[in-house]
Each structure stands twice: as C-alpha cells, then as structure tokens.
Structure 1
C-alpha cells in the first residue's frame, strides 16, 4: 500500500497543474478543429492464468502501473488511438501450492474507438461521453518465479523459472469520459487483453500447453487535445460552427457565431440605431410608419401616402422640377428644361411616341428608330450611271432625278449626299475631276428643281470606290455612276460615312477654288490616249 501512496503522491502535483493550466485556456478540446489528443493514466493490472489469478482483487500495490496514449480524431463517431501500459506486477497464489512470480509487463496497442457522443446518440459536448474500443498490438513480459508442484505421493517439488514473452495480443476496452471543461477530460476505462502465448513462452512458464494468459487493465487518467480551433473573426465560435465567419472584432455573437439581434429585425445590434424596436435594414434598423424611406424620427410628414416619393425630410417632392409633384407625375425623371404636359411627361406634338426633346422631326411623325422622323421609302433611287468619259446626264437618268427631287420636297428634314465615281481608265487626276463633274451635274438638276443648296452635298471620289470589276466592260459601266444617300439634316453625311472624307463642291466654290484634277471638258483625248497606250498582253505561244 505504501507503493501505491508513493506513486499517487508523485503523479498528483503534475495532474493538478495540468488541469489548472488547461482550464484557464479553453482553446484546447478534442474536436474536428483540434484532432490530436494526448493522455496519461494510473492503471491496475489483474492476471488470470495457469498458476491462478487475481481477477476481482483491486488496489493492491503490486498491481499498480502507468499508461499513456495518443489519439487522433477521424470523424464524429471514430478516433484512432495508440496506447501503451507498463506494470511491475507480482502474483502470489492464494492457495497451495503457493506459486508466485513477478513480471515486468508492457502492452503496446493500436485501437479504434467508437464514440457515443457523435451528435446522433449524445451531444458532442456532453458531460458524460461513453465509448468502446477494440484493436491489437504487442505484449512484452519478463518474468521470474517459484512454483511448488505436488507429486503423486503428495510430496512437494519446488521449482524456479525465468521467462521472456514477446507475443501479439488483442484487446477490448470500455470507457467513460467526463468533460471537466472545454479543455480537460477524465477517462475511466476497463480493458481485457489476450496475449497469444503457448508452451514455454507464457508469463507463468506453464507446461500445460494451454493458451491461458489473460489480463484486465483498469485505469483512470486525464486527456488533453492539442492544437487550436480556427476562429478567423475571433468571436469565440470556431469557423466550423460559425455561420457568420466575418463578424467584426468585439461584436457580441450567439452560439452560431452571428451578431446578436435583440429586436429580431434582421439588423444586428451593433448596426441597429433602434436595437429595441423592429425596423428596416435600409434605415439601420429603425421603423418607418408611412414606408417613405425616411425613419419616423426624421420624418416631417409621417403620414405621406404609400408610394409617394419624398425628399430628405419625408415630404412629397418634385424631383425633376417640372411643377408637377412626383405623386402625380407620370414621368418624374424628365430632364430639366423639357416642356411637359399635365401629367408631367415631355410634350410629343406629333404623337409618334418620341418626345419633342428627342425628336429630330417634332412636327412630323416617325419611328423612334429613326429619331422620330418619317422614313424615306425603300424605292428611293440609289444611283444613276454615265457614259464613258462623260459627265452629262443620260436621258434615262432624269426620271430618277425627278423622283429624288420629289422625295426631297416630301421629306424636308432630310439632306442629300451625292458622290461621283468613274471607272479606272484614264489618269487619277483626270478621273477625280470627272467624278466631281458628274456629281455637279446631278446637283445642278436638283437645284433647278428648287431643292435648296444647303440640303445638297456633292463630292467626287474618282476611281477609288468601284462597285464592279474594272477588268470587264460591265463592271466599268457600273463604276461610272453617282450615288444618292439621303440622311437626316444634322447627322453624319452618309457618303462620308460610307467612303470617307472628301471636299464638297459647295466647300470648293466657297473657297474660290477650281475642281480638283485635270480638266475633262473637251474631246477626252487624254483619257483615250492613256487607254490606247496600255501594253497589250503577250500572246500565248
């Protein structure tokens, strides 16, 4: 008994210090966040074998040992443990013959633990946490002893043995864990170990041939988990359980890690200007009786009808300044300065659905896709052609020009772009001037029909914009042309958008200059000369 008291006195101070230190720091507890645990225990060994046994005998000094374990969390239901136990054991038979032996025994095992506090049977943080464990390992013993054996004549034959055991074993264990704090656990266990011994190598040197060595190990000890739970926002709730992992530092939270919301309005107390009264998130948790977006405490018109827009003081406003209050204004976002009707909507004189402020033709109806202007008919002439080296109008072109003049009269919001072109025969300068002359002839026709000069822009592009192949007569005939492109006055010139910039005839005349390129009036000999001087292709042999 003295040995037991001495052992307990040596272990008790360390255990007290361990409990005190860890209880002050609840950051430790074996959970999915802190998966490794260590433990130490005092144990009692009981033997049952060929020389007898002491099952049922407790707290004898010769039975006391020590143990330790390392445990790894696998899942809510299972842990994996590496266990060790050492005993300096002495056995004395209770009856004759007085067999006895002493043994230094050690057991090293790997066990799988089934936990009942897995969240299905008991809560994970239950105070009492039962578990079962099973596994196997290795049994080691060095034993020496004396035995007395009766002969047939009842004489006693003394004997002595010295034996070493190195054998595999299996074990089963039942345990109760007590959660002393979030940091410390007390484990009380009972395990039975069975070593696979045989003749000559069992702990008691039995000659019977029975595989009979069995051991009970009872233990009590402390277990502590290592590591630290991840708690990104430092609110005391591990990230694994934290439904609000980004809570600002210092904010009080509930068990799920979310900020406390006393009035239950969805606005956390630390953000709620009215934490004791249900309110709106948009108003930092304060109520708004007339739902106008202004908190009751700041509302100068707290009875504004629902849906009426208000200013910062909570009173109806006229946000676009059109003299029609927003609650009556069907178009409350009318731009400043735009004339409106009684409903507060922009005027639309021609009723085409395009407000006058955006309508290029406010007095003539047209689709919004054409900026409120009427669309020119699709059959509008697109071009007229010219004879080779000529700028005079062909007889069959006048009908198209007359049609174009009528369109320009019918659609006064449009201007007309005229672009002259040539084929590739002749010099570049010559063809450039010829293209201007062709555009000028068409322009003059329209001017003579009464179309104002400021609605007609004419220019030439020479031979640079063909629509057909200049390698064929048919293609060159197509290229000798003037294009017509009507466009809304004030918009980008259609020919310039299509072919690029070129000076107009009006600009050239205003500047007092001559049309660009060589003079083309006359016989056109230079253009014919250039054509005739082209080298004839070599004949195939």
Structure 2
C-alpha cells in the first residue's frame, strides 16, 4: 500500500501538467494528439559494485505507463512512470536491493517533422530528454540498526527511440535511455565514499501507444478535417476518400448536381453532353453541329439577329484606346492592359514566364498510382497562382500525361485526375475557376521513350501553358481534342444510392442559366449552319470557344497499377 500511495503521488504532477498542455494544444490543432502508452522495461545497474550495462541476463524488469502530447510538428511533451527493483552484489555476503519509483516529464524531439521525414511516416525516430523524481528504498551496507534507508532524488534522463505507426491510432515503440540520479546512493554505498554520478542505470523499453479521442470532422462526412480537401460538404452528399463530392464521369459537376452522372458534360448544361459546346445539351439541341462563335437560341440553332436593343450608352468612337497601346478598343482583346497589335493589344508572355511554366512541369509530383499531390509541389503551384495574377487576361491550361505502362483506360483517367488535382489546388488559392482548364491525355503524347525508367519518368508529367481567355485551350491546340473518358473506361457497378428524380425538359429549361452574350472565338470566317427544323426566336446566346470546362473538385484516387 505504501508503494501504491507513492506511485499515485508521483504520477499526480506529470498528469496535471500534461492535462494543462492538452487543453491548450488541442484547441490549436485539429487532430487527436494525446496518446497513452503501456510499456515494459529492462533496467541495468552501473555503480560502485560493477556494471550490468547491456547484460540482459542481469537486468531487472519493470512495467510502466506514458502519456504523450503533441506540441508542434517536431516536438512532443512526454511523461513516464515505472516501478521496479534494482539488485546487485556488494560482496559475497552483502547483496543489495533498491526499490525504485520513477516519474519524469520531458520533451520528445521528433524527426518525422515534415523536414527529415513526413509527419505521418511509418517509421518515426526521436530523441528524448527529461527530468523527474525518483524514490529509492535501499537495503545496502547495513547501518548500526540494520534498517533500510529511504531516499528521494532528482533524476535526469536522455535517450532515443523509434515509433512504428501501425495504424491511425496505434503505434509500437522501442527506446533506450540513461537515468542519472543527482545523488550517488542507489546501491546503499554511503555517498561520502562515492563520486558524484557514479550510480546510474539504463532503461530499455518496448511498448504500445494508443491515440485518444476521435479526429474532428466538422462537416460530418466521415473524413477527418485534417484529410478533408472539401471541408464544407453537406452530410447528405456522398463523398470520396478525400471528402469531396463524388463525380463519377469527371466532368466537374458532382453527382448530386449532375443530370447525366454517367456522361461527361458541362456545368452550363448541368453535367449533360454538349458536343458543339453551344450551351444547349445534346438531348435538346435541334442543331447539334453549330460552329463555335455562332449565336444560338434555346433550341441550339443559329439566330437571325444579334442586335442588342437594350443598350442606351453612347458607343465609344473607333479611335478610343483606354490603355494607350495604339490598338483601338474596338480591335483590342485586352483594352485595359497594353500590348502590341501583333498580339491583338494584349500583353505578351515573356520568355522568363515561359521558362517558369516549363520548370513547373518538372517540380509537380504525385503519390504512386494516385492523384494525390506531394507536399513538395505546393510551392510551385503557389507560384503559378501568383503568375495568373500578373496576366489577368490569360487563362491557364493544365494537361496530364502518363507513361505507357498499364491499361490505356486507366492511364487516361489517372492523367485527368492528376490535372484536376493541380487545378483544385489553384482554385483553393482563390484563382477563378473560369481561368483554369484541364485536359487528360493518358500515354498518347510521350516526350521520351517508354522503354527506360528515365524516359517513363519524363513522360509522367503535368504541363502548364497560358493562353488568352476566349481562345482555344492551349493543350488542345498542342495535342488535339481530349480523348473521351466515358468511352475509354467501361462502366463500373455502383453501390445503391437514393434514386434521382427524373427531370423533364420543361424543368431543365428552368434550371438553365439565363442567356448570356459571349465573345466569339477568333475566326477568319464563320459559316452558319442550316437549321434542321424551324425554331421560334429566343433570347440571344453565344457559344464559347470549344473548350470543355474542367473538373472543379479533386476526384477519387484510381486503382493501383505498377509504377505510375
């Protein structure tokens, strides 16, 4: 009972300190960062009567507990408690036994700090330094009464260990540390005849750690906040492993808003296909092959009038030149930013900027066989977000490519998902979604041979190009139309989900955006298509240049294949 009382008294102070730090730290970090450890130690004595260091046959064994509290990426608060007996032989006739109760509080310096190793690495080395209190009851050199002497010491400890992460909440660790009581009387030999620091002991420990509590999940979608890339998703929306709404056809319109969830479409047509990109989905398009830049009505057919009768302001003169670049506003694609007439009055992209775009391709990386960006890519993407701020009249094209290993359908999906992941990161930096377009080309356009690892590494890439907003997508100009994902990948069975209500044409018409007049793409001449059937006049709407909108959210990680 006496020892139990001493254990509780010893543990009280470290527990109180950890509890205080827990309240402070948990309020500052979203993850669960408090863990409980159960361990078993081998203790080895060294002092006046010899040394048992690294002699496990002479070790004394002790159970213990530990509490660990996260402070920063590289630093934890750690408290330990153990109880044991040290034994040795003063002489053939005088053995000694020392009952030890030790409690300490210290700091753990972690190498999985985001610099040396990832914070969530499987193997997590660390250094440990602590100070605490030791109670010792010695049966040593007998005094005149033959009564054991009880002592309390300040104890300092230093060590190193490795934690092995077994899962999100469980770990296994090994640790070795040296304890040095500040008084040299562990073995009962009088201090007057003992040099300071002569009595010490090694502690070799193995144990398990268990994380406490649950990781916060603010939007209650089943994905912890620390891993949730879309933290404000409604709880009734199905999400992928990253917490973003499912988008099975990868068209940028999530399933719960997609009227055609199995066919890639556009946001303007509520996720339904629009082959001629005129803003009218194919099922309602009476004139499905309207050329780009031709104004169409609600049925997708060319209109016969483009006069805006609502304008009341006095039109500018032909010589008005807002930016003073010598290109009149009427002919200036960028009337508020000066540029040469050879670039339609828009600022030209400098050679330095083009070089930065090429370098960005080399610095973007992903996890193996996944569309998950590596943290090393973030700085490069941050630079691209700033670059778009310097070129407000331009949009950014992102093109994903893979090597040739694995099925073509898988590569096509993976290339598109990786381009979408880069796009989503840029959108998180407050870049307008209309200024970032993405394409995926699979292994169709290699830069080098796919027969060597060096060549395959070059071919696995995400390319970035700037192009004037309203022009054809730069990747599409370079590589052609993006392959159709739906035709490349067979339909997969889906888990049961609430049936979607059918939406008739009248309902779809009400959901459609109000007609908006858009600037046509640059063309030398436009040939109007002949309507298939007469249609009533409707408000004027102009089709954008033929470039598909890009996904606006990250997409589910694909199945694994060798070395993507």
TM-score with structure 2 setting the length: 0.46
| Bigger radius of gyration | 1
